Amino acid sequence: MKEIRIHGRGGMGAVKAAEALVYAAVMDGKYGNSIPFFGFERQGAPVTAFVRISEAPIRPKNRVYHPDVIIVLDPTIMNAVNVFEGVKEGGILVLNTTHDPKDMDIPGHIASVTVVDATKIALDMIGRPITNTVMLGAFCRATGLVSVDEVARKVEELWGAKNKEALYKGYESAAPAAMR
């Protein structure tokens, strides 16, 4: 079972991104579940969504405390929340940033970092800085856990063709980064 934690802010689509990943997992013949976590916060407040993807039925229905993968929709969240808390040895980070990860404080037990300027892509393609679809594309590229085409089907259903194009642009633009 792979566990994923998505960090974003209210209004950025972290919860819907988690739902799209579960849909893609199921369409790929796997099992999946997602759990949102947010309080009475308003738009812009930290939001976390949790996803599990497995070849076998998934019993846990609680938060993910030790993720294999971390997706950061908004890099400023890293100043407010410890996104690396509990991440497993060999974890994967999928990060929306324009910065070189070598210049960032990324723990040594993170095995790989994939970066994409999701904010720019979202602004260029959908006219708003909502990065969830772009980051879903980057996630598919970084992990191969779900089919980008299945995610694209759900993205188009939820948000339309422009967001589907943004997803594919995120997939194409995602780049593994040297960390050390």
112: CATH? 3.40.920.10
Measure Cα distances from 180 to 65, 74, 84, 93, 134 in Å. 26, 23, 17, 14, 26
83-118 pLDDT tens trace: 999 999 999 999 999 998 888 889 999 999 999 999
The residue segments making up the domain with residue 22 are: 2-177
What percent of the chain shows pLDDT beyond 90? 81
Q: What angle do CA 128, 179, 10 make, to 5 degrees?
A: 30
65-78 pLDDT tens trace: 999 999 999 999 99
25-50 pLDDT tens trace: 999 999 999 998 876 656 778 899 99
For the whole prediction, is pTM greater than 0.85? yes
Q: What angle do CA 152, 13, 98 make, to 5 degrees?
A: 85
Local structure of 15: helix, strand or coil:
helix
Which residue, among 170, 78, 66, has the nearest Cα to 115 in the 3D structure? Answer: 170
Number of separate domains in the chain: 1
